[in-house]
Structure 1
């Protein structure tokens, strides 16, 4: 995208982060960091890179090292503030927050960086959805799908259902290896559905994907969420 509006850039970046794409944004921006120390960069032309593993890099026109960065395991968020694109990266343990605000945007790129062989094996999320609906026991024995694309204030749940004990289950589907962002998305859906249902109704969250990073598995355990390894298409 060349010279996109702030809203167009926000939508493109948000979709790319949700898919697990590599994102680059170049433009005139300010940078604020708060964590182990605090720093501020005034307006300047900079390149921001968001990686699927949660890494954020802010580069200027000098040197090979970023002037600001966040490590793998951070979560990316994007929004509009005062008609400017704002990208935020948050890390816990220790608490660190990086905020980049673009007053002008030269370009946005999003790239699927998965290995082509892995993609040919993993198929699409629709393939994964159809596989789970056809054989719900792949999630777990006794799982019963009740709805797809169930609406919540946090977004649409891929598959909503109940387990063998009658507990509500939120199933989030991803067609490839997942990182911390997918865990955060599932956690938001579980929280939104918990608020929608009766207070005494337990809601479980299950992330279904071919594989997960170590950091994603750590976050799943921390948040009381679950993971099922499943390819969109069975191996032949």
Structure 2
């Protein structure tokens, strides 16, 4: 999917969606680049090509040479921001701490590609179908799982499925019908945090993201936050 000469708002919306689902992103336009980490560097405004790969790699190229003028290795996370008609893409790495900030004052072309695992994009069914499947067969989540409520309200929103595991711990399920990225992990984490504040301190609360698949960045974030993932589609494959 490509956009020629998008507005800043169009570009931000497309970029956020692409990064969330783990797509390959390329952007060409006029931008400045700031790096801060093991050293610091700045590039004045100029026409450059930016590539964001699904594994977190970042490459910034000019019209000359084969090597990028700035780059970050796999494992970075990306944030999209902007104001006054500008679009900022901030790439962060935690070990070591590094930040690459690319600020576009003009975008001539933006393209996103869902590279690899294309079969997962054809998942059919709805989240309601997925919920129904779990309620009918709770052991699809894990042996001993017992659903107690659906759409249980919390200060952070409604939990899709609320239940208990075989040991009596609270289990919160966040259901998604398609491959998901870090946003879904953040949503689940907010639900778990809200319940931790509402329930007794000695109650164990487990958060489980249920979807056909997750991006690599989402999987790493799940591990960082102590959350879990169960691969399950709305309906069995035929």
Q: Is residue 163 of structure 2 the alignment partner of residue 162 of structure 1?
A: yes
Which of 206, 209, 220 aligns to 2:222? It is 220
2:128 is aligned with 1:87: no
Q: Are residues 149 and 209 of structure 1, via their aligned partners in 2, closer, same or farther at CA, if it must alter by over 3 Å? A: farther
User: Which protein is bigger by CA-based radius of gyration?
Assistant: 2
Aligned to 1:198: 198
Q: What pairs with 1:108-123 in structure 2 (closer than 5 Å)?
A: 108-120=110-122, 122-123=123-124
Q: Is the 8 A contact 1:128 1:232 kept in 2?
A: yes
1:77-124 alpha-carbon deviations (Å, 9 max, x no partner): 10113431011111111111111111111122122223444545x446
| Whole-angstrom distance in 2 between the partners of 1:160 and 1:44 | 50
Cα deviation for residue 8 of structure 1 reads 1.4
Q: In the alignment, what sits opposite 1:37? A: 39
Q: Does 1:171 align with 2:174?
A: yes
Q: Pairwise CA RMSD of aligned residues?
A: 3.3
Q: Which runs of 5+ in 1 are unaligned?
A: none
Change (3 A) 1:98 1:160: farther
Change (3 A) 1:88 1:130: farther
Q: Is the 8 A contact 2:155 2:194 kept in 1?
A: no
The separation in 1 between residues aligned to 2:216 and 2:32, in whole angstroms, is 32
Q: Secondary structure of the residue that 1:49 maps to in structure 2?
A: strand
- Equivalent residue for 2:53? 51
Matched, 1:142 2:145: yes
Query: Residue 91 of structure 1: SS of its match in structure 2?
Result: strand
